[in-house]
Amino acid sequence: MNYVEFQFNVSPKEPGVDILIAELNETGFDSFEETESGLNAYIPTSLVNETLLSLIPILNNKDFKITFTKNELPDKNWNEVWEKNFQPVLIGDGCCIRASFHPKSNNCEFDIVIDPKMSFGTGHHETTSLMVEEMMGMDFANKTVADAGCGTAVLAILASKRKANNVFAFDVDDWAVDNSKENIIQNNCGEIDVYKGGASLLAGKLFNVILANINKNVLLADIDKYSGALLKGGDLLLSGFYTHDKDDLIKEAGKYDLTILSEKENKNWCLLHFIKRR
């Protein structure tokens, strides 16, 4: 596959780079590399058009100065490039997320093998880390779990390894669905089912726990569906948004019998843990 590289110079770098990644991710960019001056972002050549960057709000935000250069890249083995830069991640005391070419750690209760290729969810991003940290403090034994926008299925796999009874994972992206299935097989988690689609797939189903690490707009649009598929007393974990957006999500959740239980923050990214009241 041919890719185009955009080299962004971002000032101020924080939180500019984090915001830029989140907004680029919604328009087809699928891999990123932070640099001293900002960010290198990559997108398949087939998705590049004249209006692409007009969809990125931060590029028109006067609080940030952002310039960029664009480079056509030759076709290459992107998985090989990724392997050279990917390192294992230890989250908390007991969860290690690594690639198949890394040796297994003897210090982790939960060893998760993820080969993400172009999918999101290696544990390196703050939102994935926040979700894993919160999950490590929960009881998943014999519970039914949904992983919305599963990406690499890392959260679904962790739920399964923590003795969830059944896990229902879904994503709108073909690559994510295929990659999730590969990672599930690699982790011997046969009780996870993966489907292509959005939150409408939750209709008619009920779960003890729903996990959704996506982005603010999708979460706001689908929070009613999450609540409708959650059993009384069930847990809803949301991440993928910035701390300054949390009030909007808490307000919307309150319309659907969801009460905030706890929240976490990591470098301006936020996690909200809700409980279904009735």
| CATH code for the domain of 226 | 3.40.50.150
CA distances from 278 to 143, 215, 231 (A): 18, 26, 8
Residue 213 included in any domain: yes
Residue 100 included in any domain: no
Is the domain of 57 the same as that of 167? no
Is the domain of 272 the same as that of 166? yes
Its pTM stands at: 0.75
Supply 181's token pair. Answer: 């299935």
Range of the domain at 12: 3-76
CA distances from 122 to 35, 90, 183, 187, 218 (A): 19, 11, 11, 14, 21
Residue 89 included in any domain: no
Is the domain of 69 the same as that of 181? no
Q: Is the dihedral of CA 25, 241, 155, 211 positive or negative?
A: negative
Residue 255 included in any domain: yes
Query: What is the residue-level pLDDT of the chain in tens, covering all 278 positions?
Result: 678 999 999 999 888 988 998 889 778 887 788 888 999 998 888 889 989 998 899 999 999 999 999 998 876 655 566 555 567 788 877 899 888 878 887 778 999 998 766 555 555 678 899 999 999 999 999 999 999 999 889 999 999 999 999 999 999 888 889 989 999 999 999 889 999 999 999 999 999 999 999 888 899 999 999 999 999 999 999 999 889 999 999 999 999 999 999 999 998 899 999 999 98
Residue 83 included in any domain: no
Is the domain of 144 the same as that of 269? yes
CA distance 152 to 246: 25
Give the CATH number of the domain where residue 15 resides: 3.30.70
Greatest alpha-carbon pair distance for the chain in Å reads: 55
230-263: buried (b, 16+ CB within 10 Å) or exposed (e) per residue? Answer: beeebbbbbbbbbbebbeebbebbeebebeeeeb
Nearest to 56, CA basis, from 26, 33, 11, 23: 23
Choosing from 17, 50, 76, the residue where a domain stops is 76
Is the domain of 154 the same as that of 265? yes
Is the domain of 134 the same as that of 61? no
DSSP-assigned beta bridge partners for residue 95? 91, 110
Q: What is the pLDDT of residue 157?
A: 97
Per DSSP, 55 falls in state: G
Is the domain of 137 the same as that of 263? yes
Nearest to 86, CA basis, from 125, 52, 129: 125
Q: What is the pLDDT of residue 102?
A: 81
Q: Is the dihedral of CA 31, 216, 262, 168 positive or negative?
A: negative
Q: What order of strands is seen across the sheet that includes strand 110-113? A: 89-91, 95-98, 110-113
Q: What is the pLDDT of residue 29?
A: 85
Q: What is the pLDDT of residue 137?
A: 94
Choosing from 76, 97, 129, the residue where a domain stops is 76
Is the domain of 147 the same as that of 268? yes
Is the domain of 71 the same as that of 125? no
Is the domain of 49 the same as that of 152? no
CA distance 102 to 113: 9
Contact 269, 15 (CB under 8 A): no
Number of domains the chain contains: 2
CA distance 177 to 99: 18
Residue 165 included in any domain: yes
Residue 167 included in any domain: yes
Residue 81 included in any domain: no
- Beta strands (DSSP E) in the chain are 3-11, 31-34, 38-44, 65-73, 89-91, 95-98, 110-113, 144-148, 166-171, 192-196, 207-213, 230-242, 258-266, 269-276
Is the domain of 165 the same as that of 258? yes
Is the domain of 53 the same as that of 126? no
Choosing from 76, 104, 135, the residue where a domain stops is 76
Q: Is the dihedral of CA 171, 181, 275, 142 positive or negative?
A: positive
Q: What is the pLDDT of residue 120?
A: 56
